[in-house]
Amino acid sequence: MENLSRKERERRERIRHILNVAGSLFARRGFFKVSMKDIAERAEFALGTLYGFFKGKRQLYHQLIQEKIDEQIRVISEQMASETSPVGIVKKFIEAKLRFFYDNLDFVRLYFAEMHGPPVYGENAHRRKYQELLAKITSVFEEGIKKGEFINAPAELLAAMLDGQTSALAFSWLEKTSSESPEMEIELAKRVLLTGVLAKE
């Protein structure tokens, strides 16, 4: 994995650099309000140079989202795999998702735009990928329901609510001055999802 020539290493660094710059711009302004010239200027490359790294604007954007979503799914899936009980898995999902978003705040808006916004292009490969993760959560809920751990309700709605709840917490970080760590939100999300907001009398 490290048998890369200096050339190749530098190339990857540059691609990484451009993707970071582009990600930050896309997150702030959205796909259509960012021009290739904008990206080139911020990345300190000439306009034409970008086309040596990426086939075009679409592909650049695609790759950017792809990599992050893949990473997100991988990280979350790994965490979930460390647990066996449905409740445990769901807790891990909350933990992993919030931690990932906390470490990738720029990505939060891109994620929302791509998952919930109008399609940037015809493609929606990313949505499908993430929905596979949600499908996994759905089956975890199904199993939990069967085992009597969870209330009897449509599992895919439970999964959607879980996802919406955690996303909303991540989104709140964008608008407020961010806290030191995501721990509080993680604990809160677990607690509210599992036992609700009602105080037990």
Partner DNA sequence: TATGAATGAGAATTCATTCAT
Partner DNA sequence: GATGAATGAATTCTCATTCAT
Binds 189: which of DNA, a second copy, none (CB < 5-8 Å by kind): a second copy
Residue 122 buriedness (CB in 10 A; 0-12 / 13-18 / 19+): exposed
Please identify, using beta-carbon distances, which residue of 5 and 152 lies nearer to a second copy.
152
Residue 93: which of 108, 76, 78, 81 has the closest Cα?
76
Please identify, using beta-carbon distances, which residue of 28 and 74 lies nearer to DNA.
28
Please identify, using beta-carbon distances, which residue of 53 and 101 lies nearer to DNA.
53
How far is Cα 81 from Cα 29, in angstroms, rounded to an integer?
A: 36
Does 176 bind DNA (CB under 7 A)? Our answer is no
Q: What is the dihedral of CA 109, 111, 43, 62, to 10 degrees?
A: -150
Which residues of 8-118 form beta strands (DSSP E)?
none
Instruction: Determine which residue in the list 56, 117, 154, 164 makes contact with DNA, applying CB under 7 A.
Output: 56
Cα-to-chain-centroid distance, residue 8? 28
Convert residues 47-86 into a mask of x (bound to a second copy by CB under 8 A) and - (unbound).
----------------------------------------
The contact set with a second copy (CB under 8 A) reads: 26-33, 87, 109, 112-113, 116-120, 141, 148-154, 156-158, 160-161, 163-169, 171-172, 184-185, 188-189, 191-199
